[in-house]
């Protein structure tokens, strides 16, 4: 939800500065199917019973790593995409340090448990690592837990979409 909000915010501000949605629509990416496939794998692990299968968190991490590689590959084409890459890298680092799972603050774990996405999450404790970079941020009114990496991703998405909407499109091929 945070990422969708960031994209919408980028479009709105781009339009307010005289940009056009058509500018965003004309951008062409290299290998768009790669990011689409990685997002599908990530979402399947998050939103289906796969999240209860032992080792599924590694498929999630593989999808995250593919998205990271894709965003890094496009840095020179979309100037603020490096923020998205930085956020993904931070999240990936935390997950690697915790055996493929993202630590989540105890007080925010309830919404994750109710959604059934416990497979790639672990409740923060003295046994988890890099807790400061885990999911501990609550942004009203969304009942979700976010990490500093998620905030970086959202900021990068908002800026990238703003720039792409506000300025005439460059073809990314």
The neighbour count for residue 52, using CB atoms within 10 Å, is 11
Question: What is the predicted pLDDT for the residue at 28?
Answer: 78
Question: What is the predicted pLDDT for the residue at 1?
Answer: 84
Question: What is the predicted pLDDT for the residue at 116?
Answer: 42
Question: What is the predicted pLDDT for the residue at 132?
Answer: 96
Question: What is the predicted pLDDT for the residue at 117?
Answer: 47
Query: Which pLDDT tens digits describe the chain residue by residue (173 residues)?
Result: 889 999 999 999 999 999 999 888 888 778 888 888 888 887 787 777 777 777 888 888 888 999 999 999 988 888 899 999 999 999 999 999 999 889 999 888 775 555 444 668 888 889 999 999 999 999 877 768 899 999 999 999 999 999 999 877 554 44
Distances (CA, A) of 119 to 46, 66, 76, 105, 150: 8, 20, 35, 15, 18
DSSP-assigned states of every residue in 152-173: HHHHHHHHHHHHHHHSPPPP--
Question: What is the predicted pLDDT for the residue at 118?
Answer: 67
- Nearest Cα to 6, choosing from 158, 166, 164, 132? 158
- Nearest Cα to 89, choosing from 105, 72, 73, 74? 72
């Amino acid at each position: 939800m945070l990422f969708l909000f960031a994209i919408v915010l980028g479009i709105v501000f781009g339009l307010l500065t005289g940009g056009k949605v058509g500018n965003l629509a004309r951008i062409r990416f290299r290998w768009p199917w790669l990011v689409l496939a990685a997002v599908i794998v990530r979402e399947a692990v998050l939103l289906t019973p796969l999240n209860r299968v032992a080792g599924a968190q590694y498929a999630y991490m593989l999808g995250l790593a593919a998205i990271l590689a894709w965003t890094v590959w496009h840095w020179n084409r979309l100037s603020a995409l490096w923020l998205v890459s930085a956020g993904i890298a931070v999240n990936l680092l935390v997950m690697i340090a915790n055996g493929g799972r993202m630590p989540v603050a105890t007080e925010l774990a309830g919404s994750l448990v109710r959604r059934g996405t416990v497979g790639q999450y672990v409740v923060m404790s003295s046994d988890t690592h890099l807790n400061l970079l885990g999911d501990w941020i609550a942004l009203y009114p969304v009942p979700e837990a976010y990490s500093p990496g998620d905030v970086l991703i959202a900021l990068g998405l908002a800026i990238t979409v703003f720039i792409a909407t506000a300025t005439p499109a460059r073809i990314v091929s």
